[in-house]
Amino acid sequence: MKFLDKIKRGLTKFFYGRYGLDQLSIFLMLLSVIFVNIKYMWMGSYLFTIIAIWRSLSKNIVKRKIEGDWFNNNIWFKIKKQYFKIKRYFALRKGYIVFKCNKCKKQLRVPRHKGKIKIICPECKNVIIKKT
């Protein structure tokens, strides 16, 4: 029992002051798992794993925090936004059709099975006649 307590204290001491896991490190580990399964990409997998472990064990907490915030604001935000956009599209596709305005390229959602209807764009007031 004393041996396990010594190991626990040693590990606690080792990890004290280290950055730890964040979303960027977890994302890099997931990329490494994906790259392992792709032929000829196993070196990329090792690279992502090494970077994720290095970030987790880093003592430069301020720099890792800046990197993590940049990833969350620029990359992760765009991935989440695209995911929810696709999720919303699949949820609404049974009841609605989405058209794009010819002038301003705004997406217009109209109900399905209404026959031939006149769609007026709320942005540029362009009139489109479409069959739904």
pLDDT digits (tens, 9 = 90+) for 48-73: 999 999 999 999 999 999 999 999 99
- The two tokens of residue 126 are 């362009």
Residue 82 near residue 34, CB atoms below 8 Å: no
Q: How confident is the model at residue 1 (pLDDT cuts 50, 70, 90)?
A: low
pTM, to two decimals: 0.62
pLDDT for residue 39 is more than 80: no
Task: Please tell me what DSSP assigns to residue 14.
Answer: H
Query: E-assigned strands of the chain?
Result: 96-100, 107-111, 116-120, 127-131
